[in-house]
Amino acid sequence: MSKDKNCTKKVGNGYTFIDLFAGIGGFHYALHNLGAQCVFISEFDKYARETYKYNFKKIVPKLLSSKNFAGDITKIDAKSIPNFDILCAGFPCQPFSVAGYKKGFEDTRGTLFFDIARIIEEKQPDAFILENVKGLFTHNNGQTLLRMKDVIKNLGYSFYYKILKADDYGVPQNRQRLLMVGFRKKDILFEFPKPFPLKKTMSDILGGNCARTVGYTLRVGGRGSGMGDRRNWDTYLVDGKEVRLEPEHALQMQGFPEDFHFPVSDTQAMKQLGNSVAIPMIQSVAEQIFITLGRSKNDNSK
């Protein structure tokens, strides 16, 4: 992936995608930066929808005012979704995380994976990219991931997965996430992107000499625990003083653009950022998907 986003080759030109469990649009930015076009969005949370609409009204105004800016995925008829090439979904992680007590498919949020599956089955996209917490990899001794893999393979798709770290893809955050990628043409070979150096450190983000080069993983809640708490994730030592993360710092740690703004409270903003994806990491994976699909098309045309 190019180190300068302005020099990124538009490998996604001509491709369309849908953004499920869209949050505040991390996937959307990642694929938009590569030239792809979003044709459908689904997000249930009213505050996240507000933030999404506020920031994407300049990019996809018609989409945001249409029925294709949808809410509850369980109520969506898959047939009504426009045709698309890539399915993107950062589906709910709580059922598979420590904070969510690792209930997995016993948690109703865990069953939302099957809504992804039914959309894939109906729409038959060229590829998909899914994101979740690294705990999904070992949840229920690996049986949960194996079940997901079986579901996807029974739909006729390949299934690649790997735990990636955000700080391997340009942003200073120790955010480890499980990425899952698959292709309708099962003979397509895929490799996850190679890491590249940090573009900035926590010292750059916090405007002083920070004791940590790479920051803690952004979380959904429990702010203000302080340096002395073993669960601390939002307080840093900068120039010898304790500094608490604010939304403007967390936005940089997730790789959002400078002109991104929140029309909601700081509490909601931090929750939304904790639920979001590290954009450069997703963009790197998406770029590999587009390159792989392009290579496959070229091979078939020979």
> What is the b/e burial string over 263-287, where b = at least 16 CB atoms within 10 angstroms of the residue's CB?
ebeeebbbbbbbbbbbbbbbbbbbb
Do residues 5 and 30 make contact, with C-beta atoms less than 8 angstroms apart?
Answer: no
Choose the catalytic residue: 7, 38, 88, 93: 93
* Rounded-to-10 torsion of CA 297, 68, 72, 56: 90
CA distances from 62 to 40, 42, 56, 110, 161 (A): 11, 15, 10, 32, 34
> What is each CA distance from 234 to 83, 93, 270, in whole angstroms?
41, 20, 10
Does residue 93 have an active-site annotation? yes
Tell me, what DSSP letter sits at residue 235?
A: E
Q: Supply the residues annotated as catalytic.
A: 93
